[in-house]
Structure formats: structure tokens, C-alpha cells
Amino acid sequence: MGEFLSLVPKHHGTDRMISQVKKQMATLREEIEKKKLKQKVGGGLTYYVPKAGAAQVAIVGLTNSGRSSLLRTVTNAQVEVTPYPFGTNIPVPGMLPYEDIQIQLVEVPPIVEGSSEGRADGFMRLGLARNADGIILVVDVSRDPLDDFLTVARELANSRILIAEPEGEVEIQRRGGTGIQFVWEGELDGCSQEEVLALLDGYKIRSALVRVRGRVGLEAVEDAIFGNAVYRPTLVVANKIDLPHGADVMKQLRMATEPLEVVETSTTDWNLVDVLGRKLFTLLGIARIYTKEPGKEPAKTPFVVRSGVTVGELARMIHNDFYDNFRYARLWGTSARFPAEKVGLDRRLEDRTVIQLYT
Ligand SMILES: Nc1nc2c(ncn2[C@@H]2O[C@H](COP(=O)(O)OP(=O)(O)OP(=O)(O)O)[C@@H](O)[C@H]2O)c(=O)[nH]1
Ligand SMILES: [Mg+2]
């Protein structure tokens, strides 16, 4: 990237690109630092949190929004709740029990304005959200929840952690000297083809196959060039709902967070664990599949997969032999049209399916 930068002509038209490349270089340097940190620091005092349970969800928010309180209420974690700001400065994990599975929550130390530029361990803090399977974005309704949301959302967006599912996707295949050729399986949104060409040219991409799926803007083109954008399903938690708050500001919050779901919470709520568990389960698109041997009861512990996984994908996850020697499967429960339905490798599986694989 350094070499690339040295070749880029410096004028008004390339400013944006240069600053982005520099930022990207800083991020990579920071990642190297993180790896070093992981090796050196013992005793659990590290930013690295190994995944556990069905999924890992990062709890992000501004300081004092109630992240520790939330973690304490819904998990076994013994984290300190503090009336003063910046009480948490290392990530704290905890397990949230939901029916027969556990979802891992990780309190991320507070996000601040400038986290995405590295301020206050920003790269590592946002890295926790990037590495998780989903995000809980906590806002404090007793102050300015809209400002809380916009600030955290901006820092996430700057780090290319997308909290809303992208409406489309761009794929760029570089190839030899035939110019830029588009394959349209979608359309541009808020920009013209000329602008896309100018952007690609700015990055010295002059010969490539550009595939456009769904609705995409210029940012999606940039994401395709850098390949660093990730989508993380996100739940907005409007916390401290027991304290006085404005109806207007809540309305604005709901509008600004569209299409994300907003859950109003108070960390003193005794059934918060059930409410949050159900919301996260849906958000993450989790499916529990129970294997069964002939003449026996289904397994007590499910395989946790994403909803819609195929029989073939599941067979591979259990053991390659099940896939290689597959004959058919029998299904019970949600995915079966009738009990003991005989299906092939392509059948998709939903939550609460019992399966017997025949080889
Ligand atoms: N009334 C009310 N107060 C809450 C609620 N949740 C948290 N608090 C209070 O808010 C303050 C901050 O709570 P924490 O859980 O420490 O907040 P945090 O987001 O972890 O903050 P830092 O880790 O310090 O950045 C404490 O005084 C909590 O008692 C809630 O639902 N209702
Ligand atoms: Mg805290």
C-alpha cells in the first residue's frame, strides 16, 4: 500500500483516496499490534475474547449507557457497574442462557468520537464488534439517545462495520487490458456509471469485470475494492427506560435506526434475560438441529447452525463421511412436511429440526 501511495498523483481528485489508504494502513498496523498484544499479555488481560456458545454478540455503546448493567442482568458475568464514566476498560464476556443454548455477550469498552481513527484503543474496541457475530448497540434514553446512536453508528460505519444489511453487492474481477465491463444484476443507487468509472480509475482499476447485484452506491464499490466491509446484524437497546425521557426523541430514534429493531429496556427488569434471548436468537438467524440415531431419542444438545442450512452442509459439519456416503435423511419437526419425511442433500433446515442421516 505504501508503494501504491507513492505512485498516486497528488491533487484534489485523489485526496479522498489517499486519506482512505492511509487510514487502511493504520488499521493494518494496529492489527499487527493486536497480534503482538495477544502473544504477550497473559492472565486474561487482553482484548482477545475466544468465542463460546452458539454465537458471540458485542455490546457497544457510549460510556455510562448501561452496558455493564445489562451484562450483569442477563449473564453470569461479575462485571462492575459504575456511576462514573469509563468504568470498563477491557472487554468482559458473559453467557446468556436461552432455552437449551447459550449466547455469549461481550461488553466492549466504551466507544468514543474518534474510535474509528484509533482514539482510546478504538481499533481494538471496534475490532471486537467486527469479530462478533452480532451487535447490541446500547443507547441511554435519559440523555440524548439519538446522539448516542448516531455517534456509535458513525464510528462503526467509518470502520466499515455495516449494521444494516446491504441492499446489494459489487464484485470486481481484475483482468487484462479490455477495459471496464459491467455485468448488471442490479442497479446503481445515488450515483451514475460515470462516477463509478471515475472512482475505479482513481484506484488505478482500468480493466475489470464489475458485477453489480441489488442496489448499490459508491461506498459499495469502494468496499469491493478494499474488501474490508462486514455486515453484523444489530439490535438497538434503548436503555434506562425507567428514567424520564421524551416521547419525541424516542420517535426520532426509531426513525433514525430504521430498519433496525429497537428494544426498550431497564436493567432492573427481571425478565430481561428472556426478552433479550429471544430477540438475539431471531436477529442472529440461529437454528437448532438435533441428530437422532435409529431407535433412540434425539440428542439433547443441538447443533447450532444458521437457519436455512442444507442437509448436505449439516452432514459435512458433523463429519465428511456423512456427506461422502450420504444416502438420504429423515426429518421430524419444523422442517418436515410430515414426520419421518425422507429428504435429500438440498433440503433446507429450520430451527427445531430432528434429523437422522442414513449412509
Ligand atoms: N435508572 C437506570 N439506571 C441504569 C440502568 N442501567 C444502568 N444504569 C446506571 O447507569 C450507570 C452506568 O451503568 P454501567 O452499567 O456501569 O454503564 P457502562 O455502559 O458499562 O459504562 P462504562 O463501562 O463505565 O463506560 C450506573 O449508575 C447504573 O446504575 C437502567 O436501566 N436504569
Ligand atoms: Mg461498563
Q: Give the tens place of pLDDT for each residue, 131-182.
A: 999 999 999 999 999 999 999 999 999 999 999 999 999 999 888 778 999 9
Please compute the mean of the pLDDT values over residues 254-263 and round it to a whole number: 96
pLDDT band at residue 42 using 50, 70 and 90 as cut-offs: very low
Distance 68 CA to ligand 1 centre (A): 7
- If you write DSSP's letter for every residue of 146-174 in order, what string do you get? HHHHHHHHHHHHHTTEESS--SEEEEEEE
Of all protein residues, whose CA lies closest to atom 7 belonging to ligand 1? 66
Q: What angle do CA 44, 45, 46 make, to 5 degrees?
A: 95
The cell for 189 is 443507487
Q: Give the tens place of pLDDT for each residue, 335-344.
A: 999 999 999 9
**In the chain, pLDDT over 90 holds for what percent of residues?**
78
**What is the chain's mean pLDDT, rounded?**
91
**When comparing pLDDT for 76 and 10, which is higher?**
76
Q: 66: Cβ below 6 Å to ligand 1?
A: yes
Please compute the mean of the pLDDT values over residues 14-31 and round it to a whole number: 82
User: Does the structure show a pLDDT above 70 at 1?
Assistant: yes
- What local confidence, expressed as pLDDT, does residue 13 receive? 78
Please compute the mean of the pLDDT values over residues 36-44 and round it to a whole number: 52
Of all protein residues, whose CA lies closest to atom 16 belonging to ligand 1? 81
Q: How many residues does the chain have?
A: 359
Q: Which ligand is nearest to the CA of 81?
A: 1
User: Does the structure show a pLDDT above 50 at 325?
Assistant: yes
Q: Which ligand is nearest to the CA of 72?
A: 1
User: Does the structure show a pLDDT above 50 at 41?
Assistant: no
- What local confidence, expressed as pLDDT, does residue 189 receive? 93
- What local confidence, expressed as pLDDT, does residue 308 receive? 95
- What local confidence, expressed as pLDDT, does residue 257 receive? 97
Cα separations in angstroms, 228 against 1, 38, 201: 15, 22, 20
**In the chain, pLDDT over 70 holds for what percent of residues?**
96
Q: Which ligand is nearest to the CA of 61?
A: 1
**Which atom of ligand 1 lies at the shortest distance from residue 265's CA?**
31
Of all protein residues, whose CA lies closest to atom 6 belonging to ligand 1? 66
Distance 239 CA to ligand 1 centre (A): 9
Of all protein residues, whose CA lies closest to atom 30 belonging to ligand 1? 240
Range from 17-31, 202-216, 337-351 carrying the lowest mean pLDDT: 17-31
Q: 240: Cβ below 6 Å to ligand 1?
A: yes
pLDDT band at residue 27 using 50, 70 and 90 as cut-offs: confident
